[in-house]
A and B are shown apart, each in its own frame.
Chain A
Amino acid sequence: MDDFSTLIGGIAGDGINEAGMTVARLFNRLGYRIFMYYDYPSLIRGGHNFSLVRASRRNIAVHRDKIDVLIALNQETLEQHRVRLKDSSFVIYDADKVKLGDMKQKCCGIPVTQILKEEAAPAVMKNTCILGGFCRVVGMEWAVLEDVLKKHMPKKLEQNLRVARKGYDSAVEFSRVEKTDQQSLPIMTGNQAISLGLIKAGLGAYVAYPMTPSSSVLDFMARVSPDFGIKIVHPESEIAVMLMAEGFAYAGVKSAVGTSGGGFCLMTEALSLAGSAEIPVVIIMAQRTGPSTGLPTYTAQGDLHFVLNAGHGEFPRFVVSPGDAEDAYYWSGVALNMAWKYQVPSFILSDKITSESQYNFDLAAAGEVTEEQPVQWSGQGQYNRYQYTETGVSPLAFAPVQGQKIKSDSYTHDQFGITTEDAKITKEMNDKRLLKERVMARDLEGYETVKVFGDMSSKTALLCWGSNKGVCIEAAQKFGLKTIQVLVLSPFPEQMLKQALSGVETLIDVECNSTAQLSRLAACYGIKTDEQILKYDGRPFSLEDLEAEIGKIEKLGNREKNGNNEKHETLGRISA
């Protein structure tokens, strides 16, 4: 078994996310690499939720549409996902709830309701019960499940084990999952990886108002705050969030905020304040389907230009978009360091997929996150908060400093920090801010701001950013293509991208928005994409989705080789 996909579905409130996590942990214990996509509507109880867990011998960061095992806790799961089944797939179902009808596949019913009744177990234990059956069906040792439950379900453990064992014993083995020789790795969401990267780089305060898909950063940070000494504030609005983060920064505490599009709209007023007053702040912007309330629990990459241009007036910013948990950890650390090194707003641009999907995380592969110290005031002479320097970066000092005054100002100000309307100073201060951007861009040449994967000699490349990294890398492999991932979006890594494009004749842009936002950005630097594969139905690309779309373009490529130079204007768009 090289690649194995399992779908578990039920109603909201059934604990489907956690059940998916258990499946992921089981495969992880056997040395498989996992990726889990969690699909849920915006409600608390009822509605259909499912977790799609893919396990592979190789590193993966995308799901497949087709599944090998369907775990159906209710009829709806079977009806909705029947189409994903292959002839070779297995179905495990609650025999007390689900009616099968005609099925080509091997099916195994577990009397879940009856077992729960026998054990006087609460309804939520139906997951443990059916997962017991799942282990038997795919041929995992009981000890593997026992081990996972002991570690991750300490509450009512004995009862859970009994319920799982009964599920296990009532199932039949259809296949046997082999153990691989790879080590198990931590499993975490992108939001957890973002949090850990920020913590490692020295975060002292996290301020947020809950908004999907960023809320789990707030929840995670709040949970671990005693361990790491982080101040957590959940204030009255995103407006207050952004200003509080800047208040923390004024006092020398490295802070971050987290939100999604609508919340970020409210933050833009104080984003400009950070620009003018040169206040370091990190903004986790986890995109979801817009405009407005849109699809709160689904994905999109629709806010790239919003983030690049948010706020009035001109000021530099750092924007990075990680593509998986390892990127998220490393680059969140870099984002915090960049914010403080250049005293600018710094964005971690995520989306529902990066933020809420479960990835394997290899700390050694992620890259070392360091805690850099900002340029501090030397203590000589009078302190000037906005001192002109060769880099445009003024040394920092934090109250209290005896005999000195630290003056931060949203107005145009002089070097000391007193408001001015002087024409010369106005231009100088603007130039100072722009200088910081140029120095930051040079600094970033020492980072892998653009990553290249796949066949380096290929004349066709996929261009992507954010969560499409995983699907692009894997689809490109099938076609022998190169994948170019743009990590840093501001300051735009023009030279790095142009180097990556060397030898590329056909550039295919892959994005989860309807207007090819990265293509439009790249065009500002004279980089033209030839094709755009765009998806904007709230759902991420599955591997099959992207392979199918590339397949259409490859045919075009063959025709060009045959001398047919007819230009294709059609976009490879995928509808719902």
Chain B
Amino acid sequence: MNAKDLATYAKNTWCPGCGNFSILSAMRSVLAQLDEEGYPIENVVLVSGIGCHAKITDYMNVNSFYSIHGRAVPVATAIKLANPDLKVICFSGDGDSLAEGLDHLIFAAKRNIDITLILHDNRVYGLTTGQYTPTSPLGYKGKSTPFGTAELPINPPELMLACGATYIARGYTHGIDHLQKIFREAIVHKGFSFVDVLQVCVSYFNMYEAYNRRVYELEGNDTSSFDEALKLIRSWNYDGGETKIPLGKFYEADAPRLDQAFSSIKPIGAGKDEKIKLMLENFI
């Protein structure tokens, strides 16, 4: 399978230069490769919230559930519980999963459900034309905060580490090979995998220059160490200064998953009527 086979006829309406193109391209390549390697494409289900990020489901010729704002995770969780053979990948935005649907994100990590979440973290609301999000830096001047925000950003990987996610990485839309590498790892990982992608919004929060100056790729870090992961994650708190921004895998662990507890529950075929009659007998 070729990555081009995963395109649809839908007209792409992202702004020219949008970071989402990199995510789309990297994801198509990874899924096409995985199909070749025995992870059949028909077993993949994409689930998205609402926002610029979510259009990706229209642009990928793959099973999908285009959900509502902030609500990709509960849909994806249930799809996985319904059929553990499916590979379920969520696409979500920073407003989507960190504001509207934060509770679902926390519970996905807590449950270590075997799904992947790609956070298109552009740190601004794009479709509603430029308001601050939970990851916008302090003082960000958006349409709803014209004099600058007065609250600190959330550090999403830190939150996920604290909540029990078992694969945590950060990517950047200006490095497509690196994105492919971590997408692949995240999808293959058994458990809740979370990838924070610094996705540049060219229209409302163009960070290309700043990110290019500040990012670096992690090498040789101990990804099995919670403490080391926490230290690296905390080395940048989504502020607007000149701190270096680490990219790559922070943490990976093996832990019990919610879907494992459901895998043995199968619908019963014959004998239902007898069981109901027996139950009724016990109600006398």
Residues in chain A within 8 A of chain B (CB atoms): 25, 28, 151, 184-188, 192, 196, 199-200, 202, 204-205, 207, 224-231, 233, 235-237, 239-240, 243-248, 250-253, 255, 269-270, 273, 277, 361, 363, 398-411, 413, 417-419
Contact = CB atoms under 8 A, between A and B. Distances in A.
A199 B276 contact: yes
B64 A236 contact: no
A400 B42 contact: yes
Contacts of B68: 269-270, 273, 410
Contacts of A418: 8-10, 58
A186 B79 CA distance: 37
Contacts of B43: 399-400
A231 B64 contact: no
Contacts of B106: 236
Nearest to A401: B42
A151 B268 CA distance: 27
16 contacts: A151-B282, A199-B276, A202-B267, A207-B78, A231-B81, A236-B107, A243-B71, A243-B75, A250-B82, A251-B82, A252-B82, A403-B42, A404-B42, A405-B61, A409-B66, A419-B55
Contacts of A363: 277, 280
Contact of A410 (B67, B85, B272): B67
A258 to B, nearest CB: 16
Contacts of B67: 243, 273, 410
B63 A399 contact: yes
Interface string B212-246: 00000000000000000000000000000000000
A240 B42 contact: no
B281 interface: yes
Determine chain A's interface SS by DSSP, over half rule: mixed
B82 A408 contact: no
Contact of B66 (A151, A227, A419): A419
Given A237-B103, A399-B45, A186 B281 contact: yes
Contacts, number: 170
Contacts of A186: 280-281, 283-284
B268 A228 contact: yes
A418 B64 CA distance: 10
Interface of B: 8-10, 40, 42-43, 45, 47, 50, 55, 57-58, 61-68, 71, 74-79, 81-83, 85-86, 103-104, 106-107, 262, 265-268, 272-273, 275-277, 279-284
Contact of B63 (A239, A248, A273, A407): A407
A125 to B, nearest CB: 22
B284 A233 contact: no
A28 B280 CA distance: 14
A366 to B, nearest CB: 10
Given A239-B71, A243-B67, A269-B68, 4 more contacts: A225-B265, A233-B78, A399-B42, A404-B42
Max chain A Cβ within 10 angstroms of own Cβ: one of B61, B76, B280: B280
Contacts of B265: 225-226, 229-231
Contacts of A151: 282
A229 B268 contact: yes
Contacts of A251: 45, 78-79, 82-83, 86
Given A273-B68, A399-B45, A227 B275 contact: yes
Contacts of A244: 74-75, 77-78, 81
A486 B57 CA distance: 43
Given A239-B74, A410-B68, A411-B66, A185 B284 contact: yes
A235 B77 CA distance: 10
A205 B42 contact: no
A240 B81 contact: no
**A250, A269, A361 pick with most chain B CB within 10 angstroms:** A250
A410 B82 contact: no
Nearest to A183: B284
B83 A399 contact: yes
B101 to A, nearest CB: 8
B78 A243 contact: yes
A565 to B, nearest CB: 52
Contacts of B75: 243-244, 246-247, 250
B71 A270 contact: yes
